Structure 1
């Protein structure tokens, strides 16, 4: 039977890239880490690491075992937390991965709700884009994930279950300075097609693919001059006149640069979900977290905190 401690050592070496870094992370001595690796090789009968210069690297067998070990250890940690959470949710831990604009809008409100209802429950928040968040969810590193999908694309992984949180429109973001430039009525600056010749600022792979699809439907291919996943940086660059962009509503709700204006893009929607993994029902702590997320979004939409300036955007300009 494989020793869990030695599996943790192997995973730490794989994650950090060296015995020294793994020892530092685990608070072990370097000889102790080397000893655990040697014992693990003896137990498995496989060569897991090899010397490269003054360092080491994992063999193919080592990488395979490290990947499986990460999943196993994640599940063990989840089981421990779930067992504690079953005691009336008076104690235990629940972990959530979410993308930045969700963390900057409704997730804090959900955290407050959860803490109020279950003060003994320890909530851990991790920033992660959907692909990484889903990987962490499958590996047991988190108990729930806030993810998004555009149109018909999205997670179809076996075992992933989705709870809808909200549908948010995409907005065309342009420099507010354009308002000061005389232009004839219907000049198109509030439409995608009106910026066919503009420079564009793109983000993550999914967001870039969505932008390309939108522009293709408008009859042109955008000239992407800048790439960043930082929505604050995107708005700053737009305000400076370096380009235009398409951003989801949550990004503007989390942070709004005074130097930009926005226009709604009819039919362009990003759907946001709370994702959990495994057969239902969810463990009590995870179910409580998802319920808090749903309630926080519902409250925010009721008071307009998430909607922001959609009423004006629907008219064509903010």
Structure 2
């Protein structure tokens, strides 16, 4: 078992020792550290207590270090440098104040929201490297909790006291149908009248899938889902290929194929998604996340909360 170090010896006192040796006097060391000369003297005397040997001698009114003090100082420099590097490495592994940030996102947010946030983040932290991971709401939430992601841009999770979220915008859900179908000419869709229609859907775990199920629960029937996918862009193409209709968020309108149209739902069936940036509440003081939050607030201020 390694010998125990006396509790009188601390990193702070070792820093004071190095400052005293560099400054050459109690007064100059105190000025450099922003403390009183009495505090410096007390810390140096405490090191003598902790090492159980003399480290200084008095020459008149001046305190002079002996060979033992210089030997301790040599070790202190190495210890403090090693500890500082260890703390940096620890924080980088945990994602705190590292030179990279790992962001998870829904596929549907990569056409506008995610690039805008990344550019806004880089304006604040030009040297930061961004790693983007795509997935469903449930996948991203799991990776966030497992420490594989620093933040997520996704549907705002509910019932998650360990998660902090910053709302970006709310998105309306629309009925998506082939452009040449009879639905395209309607001003609003009565979902209750679509029980004989074929539908395509995202798989479970996506916030759009959840709103899809919520809408049909209100309509009072189980939709005939003929195909599912993990990619919202593939989902749009399935609709455009007349495989089936679906429900899609308004944010994808700018990348919608010509073969697909979005039609509002009647008020009884209207659904909305809250899109937020989320991160672990224990990380709320992380500098990278604070910069990301600032970028998010700027982005949210530039657009209405209701999107679609």
Bin the TM-score by the shorter chain: 0.5 to 0.7
Aligned-residue CA RMSD in angstroms?
A: 2.8
Contact 1:107 1:296 in 2 (8 A): no
Bigger shift: residues 209-218 or 281-290: 209-218
Q: TM-score, normalised by structure 1?
A: 0.60
Q: Give the SS at the match of 2:261.
A: strand
Residue of structure 2 in register with 1:129 after alignment:
136
Residue of structure 2 in register with 1:242 after alignment:
243
Cα offset, 1:80, TM superposition: 6.0
Cα offset, 1:240, TM superposition: 2.2
Contact 2:95 2:150 in 1 (8 A): no
Among residues 118, 136, 158, which one is paired with 2:125 in the alignment?
Answer: 118
Residue of structure 2 in register with 1:191 after alignment:
190
Residue of structure 2 in register with 1:277 after alignment:
280
Residue of structure 2 in register with 1:204 after alignment:
203
Matches within 5 A, 1:140-179: 140-149=147-156, 154-178=157-181
Contact 1:171 1:249 in 2 (8 A): yes
Runs of 4+ in 1 over 6 A off after TM superposition: none
1:82-101 CA-to-partner distances (Å, cap 9, x unmatched) read: 245xxxxxxx2222111111
Contact 1:172 1:191 in 2 (8 A): no
Cα offset, 1:193, TM superposition: 2.3
Contact 1:160 1:278 in 2 (8 A): yes
Among residues 90, 93, 96, which one is paired with 1:82 in the alignment?
Answer: 96
Among residues 297, 301, 304, which one is paired with 1:294 in the alignment?
Answer: 297
Contact 2:91 2:97 in 1 (8 A): no
Distance 2:227 2:135 in 1: 22
Bigger Rg, structure 1 or 2: 2
Q: Do the aligned partners of residues 105 and 204 (structure 1) sit closer, same or farther apart at CA in structure 2, a change above 3 Å counting?
A: farther
The answer as to 2:267 corresponding to 1:260 is no
Cα offset, 1:172, TM superposition: 0.3
Q: Do the aligned partners of residues 119 and 192 (structure 1) sit closer, same or farther apart at CA in structure 2, a change above 3 Å counting?
A: same
Distance 2:194 2:182 in 1: 15
Q: Do the aligned partners of residues 297 and 189 (structure 1) sit closer, same or farther apart at CA in structure 2, a change above 3 Å counting?
A: closer
Structure 1 regions of 5+ residues with no counterpart? 1-74, 85-91, 311-318
Distance 1:129 1:294 in 2: 23
Cα offset, 1:229, TM superposition: 2.3
Size of the aligned set, in residue pairs, is 215
Contact 2:212 2:247 in 1 (8 A): yes
Q: Do the aligned partners of residues 137 and 78 (structure 1) sit closer, same or farther apart at CA in structure 2, a change above 3 Å counting?
A: farther
Q: TM-score, normalised by structure 2?
A: 0.62
